[in-house]
Amino acid sequence: MTHIFPGLPLIESPLFPALKAQWGLSAEEERIATDLHEKGYAVFDFPDPELDGRIARIQNHLGPRYGIDFADPHSDKTAGERRIQDAWQFDEDVRAIAANQGVIDLLSKLYGRNAFPFQTLNFPVGTQQDAHSDSVHFSSLPERFMCGVWLAMEDIGPDAGPLFYCPGSHKWPIMTNALIGRRGYGSDLASAQDPYGPAWQALRYVHGVQEEVFVARKGQALIWCANLLHGGSHQNDPRLTRWSQVTHYYFDDCIYYTPAFSDEAVGKLALRDLVSISDGKKKSNRYLGEDVVEPPVRTKRRKSYFLRGMNRLFARPWGSGD
């Protein structure tokens, strides 16, 4: 059986049970693929023999930027800055973790398109963030060609505000502005995910899904699908750290945009202007093998409805609320 739904990641295809035997997966790759398909996340050991050294250097380099007294074991570690975005731009170890070729090869195999990292977030403590789906912050056309990889940079216990997730929630409807009845294009939000909170809560209630907590050991990583609900648990002990790095990945031959500030139905998308962390090269927005570009101001050619909408696509890029 061939993959007749190329507009879906392989691991999210309804044909996954029949397709996976054709991929030549190792036993570990098949376990990861099956977990992603069924639960929306998968845990694995990060494949970097130099990881301990990288983590130590990242902590030393980024530590002073958070405004936290890490030397005092009794200080409130949650009182400072909780994240640094895109430290890969000035920290080689952050970049190396994001651009790990073993992870990129694995994701490319499981999704059926070449993966590339486009954003990093480095945390000294947990986010204590409500359950949310990254799909409102980062999405693609076709949908679901985005994922996150969360790396534990120390052993993380239940009192340090560990990551949590809602297994199976990746299969729920993807939240869009059309779905909840709001306009997104050109809007101004303090938090890009707030408008969708009631809808996510309603789905959790109806499905009776319970949160699972990732009590991780140093060097473990977790892949999550674009639509998986996840967040940060309450930090019971503010004296604890929870060092971690998140890398977000997109996949080739897609349009990349921010749904919270878009109205897809009328062709108004807040497009993202991306570069690949791996090589620093620009990644074009593409649809079915062709670059999405602004049409000329005047043309005698008849535009399709899709291309007419493209006239208004090139909004300024938006940052993540994740």
The string of DSSP letters for 158-213 reads GGG--EEE-TTGGGSPPP-HHHHT---TT---SSTTGGGHHHHHHHHHHHTPPPEE
3-state SS assignment for residue 98: helix
CA angle, residues 188, 189, 190, in degrees to nearest 5 = 130
- Please tell me the total count of domains within the chain: 1
Q: Tokens for 165? A: 């997730």
Q: What is the mean pLDDT of the chain?
A: 90
Cβ-Cβ contacts under 8 Å for 213 (sequence gap 6 or more)? 158, 162, 163, 164, 233
In a domain, 102, yes or no: yes
What pLDDT is recorded for position 2?
Answer: 66
What pLDDT is recorded for position 296?
Answer: 47
Alpha carbon distance 167, 170 (integer Å): 8
In a domain, 315, yes or no: no
The domain of 304 spans 10-310
What pLDDT is recorded for position 1?
Answer: 55
Query: Amino acid letter at 112?
Result: G
In a domain, 316, yes or no: no
Cβ-Cβ contacts under 8 Å for 162 (sequence gap 6 or more)? 126, 156, 213, 214, 215, 216, 232, 233, 242
In a domain, 65, yes or no: yes
What pLDDT is recorded for position 308?
Answer: 42
In a domain, 320, yes or no: no
In a domain, 288, yes or no: yes
What pLDDT is recorded for position 320?
Answer: 47
Return the CATH number at 183.
2.60.120.620
What pLDDT is recorded for position 193?
Answer: 86
In a domain, 124, yes or no: yes
Alpha carbon distance 86, 152 (integer Å): 17
Distance of CA 115 to the CA centre of its chain: 12
C-beta atoms surrounding 304 within 10 Å: 9
CA angle, residues 189, 184, 227, in degrees to nearest 5 = 90
Low-confidence ranges of the chain (pLDDT < 70): 1-2, 294-322
What pLDDT is recorded for position 19?
Answer: 86
Alpha carbon distance 42, 228 (integer Å): 11
What pLDDT is recorded for position 321?
Answer: 42
Give, for 230, the enclosing helix (H) or strand (E): strand 230-232
In a domain, 61, yes or no: yes
**Per-residue pLDDT tens over the stretch 58-96:** 999 999 999 999 999 999 999 988 899 999 999 999 999
